Amino acid sequence: MPSSFSRRQFVLTAASCAGASALPAWAQEFPNKPIRIVVPQAPGGGTDILARNLAARLTELLKQGVTVENRTGAGSLIGTELVARAPADGYTLLMGGIFNMVMNKALIKNLSYSPENDFVSLGYVSAYPFVLLTRADLPVNNLAELAAYAKARPGKMTYGSGGLGTLQHVWGAILTSSLGLDMVHVPFRGAAPAHQEMMAGRVDIMFDNISAAKPHIQAGRLKGLVVSSAQRSPQFPNMPTVNESGLTAFEGESWFGVFAPAATPAPVVARLREALASINREQEFVARVERDGGRLLNIPPAQQQGFLRDEIERWVGAVNRHKVSAE
């Protein structure tokens, strides 16, 4: 007769095998066909470029083709909704970020998807501070001087953005409101036209991602006053944070991550999390993110949903307090 230890071992082994056999064959063999990462923004932007870098590395790690599919429309709603309603099998993923997982929740009533309930996070990738830019000939060199200059010209100065509801618009509105500035928002169809108008002297300031702002600052085409992160950026070590100014409290980064439909089986989620975590440890990938002014965002799986909930709570509150609208 087998010992009690042996019987227990047999029961556990049998249960484990039963659990494994209960999984669909595709889950046990994942991945066995190409995977697509849906980017809910146009090709060529920062989100798209990051997704393509990840897709190339995932193709190598998973030994299966990983492609990027740009699904634009209605801001970032079309592509994000597509993934929320896609089969939960790990073969349709979303390149998400603060723009579609937080700001849409803050700005859109009756949002057609729930960032917290319709998705599971596979891994957060990177985060980038914003830089407050001014046109090169604006006679200010720090945030205090800008605030004084703008307060002397209520309703006459402008801040640009890449469009209504973009992070440039929302954070620009929150920052100028918290400083007590009366400025006119000028939305454009993308960040590039806004930069051009600033360089032409027709738009005064813009709060924008450091990766987009960096070449203009380095070339002297625009000036950078402060960064939005908790710490100074290694790219601009002499540029203070907003909080260092002592004028107002503002801290935020534009972050990115990869998401799957919420019902995706746990073994598939674990496999994809493992691959993404491996990429975040690669020195070449780390160096690429840091060159663009960002940092790696390594959040343990157990804390990922909590991170998203905290971000939603924080920015929904800020949008409501400062009465920011995308309409």
Residue 223 CA to residue 205 CA, distance in Å, equals: 9
What phi and psi values does residue 279 have, to the nearest 5 degrees?
-65, -40
Q: Are 119 and 260 in contact (CB under 8 A)?
A: yes
Per-residue model confidence (pLDDT) at position 23: 53
Type of residue numbered 196? Q
Per-residue model confidence (pLDDT) at position 72: 84
For residues 263-277, give the mean pLDDT.
Answer: 97
Got the DSSP string for 25-82?
HHHHT--SS-EEEEESS-TTSHHHHHHHHHHHHHHHHHTS-EEEEE---TTTHHHHHH
Identical fold, 34-127+254-321 and 129-245: yes
pLDDT at 10 over 70: no
Instruction: Count the alpha carbons within 13 Å of 156 in the hemisphere toward its beta carbon.
Output: 6
Residue 44: pLDDT band with limits 50, 70, 90: confident
Residue 98 CA to residue 105 CA, distance in Å, equals: 10
Per-residue model confidence (pLDDT) at position 25: 55
> Which of residues 266 and 2 earns the better pLDDT score?
266
Residue 34: pLDDT band with limits 50, 70, 90: very high
Per-residue model confidence (pLDDT) at position 16: 46
Residue 156 CA to residue 108 CA, distance in Å, equals: 29
Is the domain spanning 129-245 CATH 3.40.220.10? The answer is no
Q: Where are the domains of the chain?
A: 34-127+254-321, 129-245
Distances (CA, A) of 217 to 4, 94, 142, 295: 72, 32, 14, 19
Residue 176 CA to residue 158 CA, distance in Å, equals: 10
pLDDT at 19 over 60: no
Q: Are 222 and 216 in contact (CB under 8 A)?
A: yes
Write down the mean pLDDT value for the chain: 90
Per-residue model confidence (pLDDT) at position 18: 47
CATH C-level class of 34-127+254-321? alpha beta
